[in-house]
Amino acid sequence: MMGLMQDRPLLISGLLDYAERYHGDAEIVSRTCEGTVLRGNYRMLADRARRMAQALQRLGVKAGDRVATLAWNTHRHMELYFAVSGLGAVLHTVNPRLFQDQIAYIVDHGGCNVLLFDISFADLVAGLRPRLPQVTTFVAMTDADHMPASVEGALCYDALVAAEDGRFAWPQFDERSASSLCYTSGTTGNPKGVLYTHRSTVLHSFVVCQADGLQLSSKDSTLLVVPLFHVNAWGVPYASAMCGAKLVLPGPAPDPKTLFDLAVAEGCTFSLGVPTVWLGWFKYLDETAGLDLAALKLNRVVIGGSAAPRYVIERFQKQGVFVIHAWGMSETSPLATVGNLLPRHAGLSPTEQVDVQVKQGRAIFGVELRIVDDQGNELPHDGTVAGDLQVRGPWVTAGYFRSEGGAVVGPDGWFSTGDVAKVFPDGFLQLTDRSKDVIKSGGEWISSIDLENAAMAHPAVQEAAVIGVAHPKWQERPLLLVVRKPGTDPRPEDILAALAERVAKWWLPDEVVFVEELPHTATGKLQKVKLREQFRNHVLPGA
């Protein structure tokens, strides 16, 4: 027998309607590409999003069409989040930090006719234009006074908004309709398009606002460091509308000083970003005299995208900020596991709490996970055995946009993440590697992430990467690459001695090489493919 409750669709426009009606005055502060700081709120966002939806319709955008953006975290980009999806079209957020070839590939593969861009990317767009044959309409996300000359025929965003009256009712449609499209950052091959739905987005928002999720609420002022072009800024734009949280958008290329100043000025309580952001943040704090740390109101910081270094968790802990270590990927919207402490952790010492926080947290309701061996047999959650991590759930992808590769999930819905992990009996997940990065030494696996974390615990190590290098006897052995903290001069043996206290002897890297910097992807991940190429012919001592 079917139940008798209403089957109202979960739509992104519903989030905006709600925010306008119940949190209309909650602020949205935007550092703009024109160099100003604009103070708006959800009422203004809703009005301008409706006008933009009217303008897009007038430009010929229809339900299902992809609309591309190359833009920072600003109020205009937020407006597009709601205008495009609210209309039933698909917001295709392109990462401007990618290589030009990848940007051209992604925009073209997405099949977009309209591209909206920040003025900081005008030259990039002008250069790419000949390679974007499908794009017929270019819109500069700025006002009439700042229109870039380099993109000929581009329309002005603010003029489009001003020409409409905002009298627009959001259409109602199937909640399973596509809402946005993000391409994976391509650390493991060509970028692939993940196509979210209104339903997956709204369900994911509930998790962001959940007390055992990211705890977002109307009490928060969020410093949105994670870019709107990186997995929908981890779902925070939608979740903020759901709960009326204040949003602080740091605009073009925010550096640690900009972030710090905004956090203080706007009383930010909550922030999110990849580890490299926070490494830069603490470097700035250490190198800058006279900062008023007491003026910071942060109480939670979400770290994901790569393993949160212990050092960063500890530094935040000392300032009274709780690090929520989360794991996920473009394919999981991205939240899949969240590292909140449980009641039984309350009595732990600060160090013991960090021991829990360095793990990637536990699955949230809605995401099922398991680990399997090479034959697909399920492995125990005993905290010892590592296996390939698989997930399934209503905000996990069922396939890639326009992919030639066929099904990416098994018949029972499990999606193979490409990550290798252990699961502890209490459900905490510990990522040990990506399957392509794991070091296979004499038939056993060595976790590059564990070694990197152990190396980063050394006070002279700014950043560390571990890769496997070919070895005649062991097949592969670990090589540790280290960026030293400015003003320090550790010897390789000092670092190895510190590692020896934390990992098994046979895990110890065969060599430590100091480098000036490590290559990162556009989303801040270590580019191990590049490192492996660079050190392909490296001969380890004794090999």
Q: Which of 283, 368, 445, 485 is catalytic?
A: 445
| Of 330, 357, 390, 430, the one binding ligand ADP by CB under 6 A | 330
Q: Which of 378, 440, 444, 506 is catalytic?
A: 440
In the complex, minimum distance from the CB of residue 187 to ligand ADP, in angstroms, rounded to a whole number: 4
How far does CA 49 lie from the centroid of its chain?
A: 24
Which sign does the torsion angle of CA 493, 499, 500, 501 carry?
positive
**Residue 305 touches ligand ADP, criterion: CB under 6 A:** yes
Total residues in contact with ligand ADP, by rule CB under 6 A: 23
In the complex, minimum distance from the CB of residue 295 to ligand ADP, in angstroms, rounded to a whole number: 29
**Residue 482 touches ligand ADP, criterion: CB under 6 A:** no
Cα separation, 246 vs 29, in Å, equals 8
Residue range at the interface with ligand ADP (CB under 6 A); choices 28-36, 76-84, 201-209, 304-312: 304-312
Q: Tell me whether residue 511 is one of the annotated catalytic residues.
A: no
Cβ pair 526, 519 in contact under 8 A: yes
Residue range at the interface with ligand ADP (CB under 6 A); choices 179-187, 290-298, 465-473, 510-518: 179-187
**Residue 307 touches ligand ADP, criterion: CB under 6 A:** yes
Considering only CA atoms, give the Rg of the chain.
23
Cβ pair 314, 453 in contact under 8 A: no
Long-range Cβ contact pairs of 462-467 (< 8 A, separation 24 or more): 462/279, 462/283, 462/486, 463/279, 463/518, 465/518, 465/526, 465/528, 465/531, 466/439, 466/509, 467/437, 467/439, 467/528, 467/531, 467/532, 467/535
Residue range at the interface with ligand ADP (CB under 6 A); choices 195-203, 298-306, 399-407, 451-459: 298-306
Residues 521-540 interacting with ligand ADP (rule: CB under 6 A):
523, 525
Q: Tell me whether residue 452 is one of the annotated catalytic residues.
A: no
Residue range at the interface with ligand ADP (CB under 6 A); choices 32-40, 178-186, 372-380, 471-479: 178-186
Cβ pair 212, 324 in contact under 8 A: no
Cβ pair 409, 452 in contact under 8 A: no
Pick the closest to residue 182 from 133, 234, 225, 242 (CA basis): 234
Tokens of 319: 């300032």
Residues 496-525 interacting with ligand ADP (rule: CB under 6 A):
523, 525
**Residue 193 touches ligand ADP, criterion: CB under 6 A:** no
Cα separation, 470 vs 467, in Å, equals 10
In the complex, minimum distance from the CB of residue 274 to ligand ADP, in angstroms, rounded to a whole number: 8
Q: Which of 184, 201, 269, 337 is catalytic?
A: 184
Residue 150, burial from CB neighbour count under 10 angstroms (0-12, 13-18, 19+): middle
In the complex, minimum distance from the CB of residue 54 to ligand ADP, in angstroms, rounded to a whole number: 34
**Residue 187 touches ligand ADP, criterion: CB under 6 A:** yes
Which sign does the torsion angle of CA 379, 384, 385, 386 carry?
positive
Residues 124-143 interacting with ligand ADP (rule: CB under 6 A):
none
Residue range at the interface with ligand ADP (CB under 6 A); choices 94-102, 180-188, 293-301, 403-411: 180-188
| Of 148, 235, 304, 524, the one binding ligand ADP by CB under 6 A | 304
Pick the closest to residue 478 from 390, 395, 406, 538 (CA basis): 538
Q: Which is nearer to ligand ADP, 32 or 330 (CB)?
A: 330
**Residue 327 touches ligand ADP, criterion: CB under 6 A:** yes
Tokens of 336: 């899949």
| Of 325, 381, 392, 458, the one binding ligand ADP by CB under 6 A | 325
In the complex, minimum distance from the CB of residue 464 to ligand ADP, in angstroms, rounded to a whole number: 14
Cα separation, 382 vs 328, in Å, equals 21
Cβ pair 30, 249 in contact under 8 A: yes
**Residue 481 touches ligand ADP, criterion: CB under 6 A:** no
Strand-pairing partners, residue 301, are 271, 323
In the complex, minimum distance from the CB of residue 448 to ligand ADP, in angstroms, rounded to a whole number: 11
Cα separation, 149 vs 140, in Å, equals 10
Q: Which is nearer to ligand ADP, 188 or 319 (CB)?
A: 188
Cα separation, 539 vs 492, in Å, equals 17
Q: Which of 175, 331, 452, 463 is catalytic?
A: 331
Tokens of 107: 């925009």
Interface pattern 410-449 for ligand ADP (x via CB under 6 A): -------xxx-----------x--x---------------
Residues forming the active site: 184, 331, 440, 445
Q: Which residues bind ligand ADP (CB under 6 A)?
A: 184-187, 231, 304-307, 325-330, 360, 417-419, 431, 434, 523, 525
